Amino acid sequence: MPIGWSEKLKRNGFGWSLVLPSLLFLALFTYYPMLKSVWLSLHEKNLAVSEPLFVGFDNYVQLLKDPVFRQVFGNNIVFAVGTVPLSIVLAFLMALFADKAIKGRGLARLAFFYPNMIPMIAVANIWLFLYTPHFGLFAKLAAWIADQPVNLLGSPDTVMGALVFMMVWKEAGYFMIFYLAGMQQIPKDLYEAAAVSGLGTAASIRRITVPLTMPTTLFVSVVAITNAFKLVDHLWIMTKGGPNNSSNLLLYYIYDTTFNFYDQGMAAAMTVIMIVLLLLVSSLQFLRWDRKIHYE
Amino acid sequence: MDKPIKMPLLLNRNARKSGEDRLVSSKARAKRRAQQAFWHGIGFGFAALWIIPILWVARTAFMPKEAGISSTWSWAWTFDNLVRVWHAAPFGQFLWNTVIVCGGVLAVQLVTLTLAAYAFARVRFAGRDLVFLLFLLQIMIPPDILIFSNYQVLSEFGLLNTKVGIMLPYFASAFGVFLLRQAFKQLPYELEEAALVEGASRLRILSRIYVPLSRPIYVSFAIVSVSFHWNDFLWPLIVTNSVDNRLLTVGLAMFAKSTESGAQWTDVSAATLIVSAPLMIGFLLFQRKVIGSFMHSGIKG
């Protein structure tokens, strides 16, 4: 039976009025800011030029030439390459351990997950303390290994490693719970069958657990990469991006450029680069490559 | 999930009990035990490693100032640091602000996401797929990334340095919408049809059937949302510039920066503990529910 016009109109109006409140806030704080960033990135606007002046792609060209931006961008890649695989592998191993029916696994789960409940800024305080020369536990440990006082956060060679270590500590337990969920969905029969065919524990993990948790791995990878670009709170407390920009990350540099150097055109251009980057990363997931990975 | 299961392997399952037990000699069993003990050792070793940072800070927070500077171990402890720090900065005000912001964000979110989730789950309207994609965009580009432009939007509205200003960008949650939409879709449609026949309006159906039946999902969302906003830092930092509107994380950061020297670590540790304690206590009390909620947050819509 064909539905009448008024009926259709009513239903459409109803649907739209339900999504409208959300859409309004999304428009104000997601779509408009994105478009505004794109627009402003094509203009010069800073302390010297208060009215936006159209300069085309000049800001982008400047960025490519800017050694600090190149360094910060490189740092962010290093930070992602350092944190993402390590925290994913650790999360997988943690889940394997916490999933087994042994005594104390609840406790282990708790120990691995609790850093996720601590504010990033508090985490930064804790680790700044742990890394403080003469006082901090890890600083003492590093000094003992190197046989001389070490300032882990004060040297360009070690600062990135120290921050990666902290980030893995904070994140791995969060990713672990997704692996726990994934592993609980694997039928136990599979492992029993594998044992019968003489497959050892290591082999059955490699041939059953790893492939069947591939969708989880993909999801966690996207979250982890996004986090590597999104989480910069700790820099404010620990290093301010130093020494000599060696620990500076993209979002923190945007913050610095906006609120300390007041260069809005540049900040906008960097925001746009960030947006494009994140769109690329998350398209990995939304293109549903996970389905293909699954049947590999 | 169904394809990789190999049927022939499943059939073999019954053969296991009879054959294998005899094959496993006592020697092999001992080797297995040793291996297992080895892996348990490593696992619990890691767990212990993970707890060290919080223990270290908790220990320092209760340490008398003199003991904090000296390098020899002492068993002395005191509440002085916590009391002094609580009065040294307006942490009570910060705590209140944080509660208001977290509560305010959640309250508005619950309304906006209930309406939108119902529309996506049960109302067929023109352009629904397009709007769905637009919502997806917020998940890919979270507001955290857009601090620079959102700051400008907020200043155009004249809402800088207000609590509403901190909350506004988070009033719509695409993540929450997808989570709830999934829950709504799983409820049997017959419930709604029956209510429609009896003349109930759709908004009434939403509030009387859908919302109460999805309570666990609401709780999950609330836990994830509150812990996110409790821990958020950079956005509240740039929006606020007075004590009246600062949140706990911002207050903590300012406090830590103002006492930057080795001798003050007892104070900074105490402040860190104060700021982290509310969520940590909640987590320890309801750990199953909390972990389960974060688990939900990864299930795709």
Which tens digit of pLDDT belongs to each residue from B55-112? 988 888 888 877 666 666 677 788 888 888 888 888 889 999 999 999 999 999 999 9
CA distances, A240 to each of A183, A253, A293 (Å): 40, 10, 40
Residues of A in contact with B126 (CB under 8 A): 12, 15
User: Which of B14, B233, B289 to probe by mutation at the A interface, max A CB count within 10 Å?
Assistant: B233
Domain boundaries, chain A: 1-41, 59-294
Confidence of residue A191 (pLDDT cuts 50, 70, 90): confident
| pLDDT value for A97 | 87
- Average pLDDT of chain B? 83
Checking phi first, is residue A200 left (phi over 0); if not, alpha (psi -120 to 50) or beta? beta
Residues 158-217 in B contacting A (C-alpha not used; CB under 8 Å): 168-169, 171-174, 177, 202
B21 → chain A, closest CA residue? A196
pLDDT digits (tens, 9 = 90+) for B200-236: 888 888 888 899 999 988 998 999 899 899 999 999 9
Residues of A in contact with B127 (CB under 8 A): 16
Structural domain includes residue B1: no
- Angle formed by the axes of helices A120-131 and A159-184, nearest 10°: 130
Structural domain includes residue B14: no
User: Which of B33, B50, B57, B267 to probe by mutation at the A interface, max A CB count within 10 Å?
Assistant: B50
| pLDDT value for A262 | 83
- Give the pTM: 0.85
Q: Give the span between the Cα atoms of A221 and A87, in whole angstroms.
A: 10
pLDDT at residue B16 greater than cutoff 60: no
pLDDT digits (tens, 9 = 90+) for A124-155: 989 998 898 877 888 888 888 888 878 888 88
Average pLDDT of span A176-183 = 89
| pLDDT value for A287 | 67
Q: Give the span between the Cα atoms of B281 and B258, in whole angstroms.
A: 27
Q: Which of A18, A33, A271 sits opposite B118 (nearest CB)?
A: A18
**Does B1 contact A185 at a Cβ distance shorter than 8 Å?**
yes
Residues of A in contact with B55 (CB under 8 A): none
Average pLDDT of span A41-49 = 84
SS3 content of chain B, % helix, strand, coil (to 5): 80, 0, 20
Q: Which fold has domain A59-294?
A: MetI-like fold (1.10.3720)
Structure-token match 């606020």, residue found: B240
Structure-token match 């508005």, residue found: B108
Q: What angle do CA B257, B262, B268 make, to 5 degrees?
A: 50
Structural domain includes residue B72: no
pLDDT digits (tens, 9 = 90+) for B276-298: 999 999 999 988 888 888 887 76
**Does A129 contact B57 at a Cβ distance shorter than 8 Å?**
yes
pLDDT digits (tens, 9 = 90+) for A202-212: 888 888 889 98
**Does A11 contact B138 at a Cβ distance shorter than 8 Å?**
no
pLDDT digits (tens, 9 = 90+) for B119-138: 999 888 888 989 998 998 88
Nearest-neighbour CA in chain B from A285: distance (Å): 10
Residues of B in contact with A169 (CB under 8 A): 50, 53
| pLDDT value for B166 | 92
| pLDDT value for A293 | 47
Q: What angle do CA A144, A147, A153 make, to 5 degrees?
A: 70
Residues 73-132 in B contacting A (C-alpha not used; CB under 8 Å): 111-113, 115-116, 118-120, 123-128, 131
What percent of chain B lies above the pLDDT cut of 90? 27
ipTM of the complex: 0.85
Average pLDDT of span A238-242 = 84
Structural domain includes residue B209: yes
pLDDT at residue A294 greater than cutoff 50: no
pLDDT digits (tens, 9 = 90+) for A35-44: 999 998 998 8
Nearest-neighbour CA in chain B from A194: distance (Å): 8
A235, A258, A256: which is closest to A246 by C-alpha? A235
| pLDDT value for B11 | 38
Read off the amino acid at residue B130: L
**Does A193 contact B10 at a Cβ distance shorter than 8 Å?**
yes
B252, B119, B196: which is closest to A15 by C-alpha? B119
**Domain limits at B221?**
90-296
Q: How many CB atoms lie within 10 A of CB B47?
A: 20
Strands A43-44 and A53-54 turn out to be antiparallel
CATH number of the structural domain spanning residue B228:
1.10.3720.10
Q: What angle do CA B88, A166, A128 make, to 5 degrees?
A: 35
Q: Which of A30, A128, A223 sits opposite B138 (nearest CB)?
A: A30
B140, B142, B147, B148 alpha-carbon torsion, rounded to 10°: 20
Average pLDDT of span B19-38 = 72
Q: How many CB atoms lie within 10 A of CB B37?
A: 10
A223 → chain B, closest CA residue? B298
pLDDT at residue B259 greater than cutoff 80: no
Q: Give the span between the Cα atoms of B216 and B198, in whole angstroms.
A: 27
| pLDDT value for B10 | 37
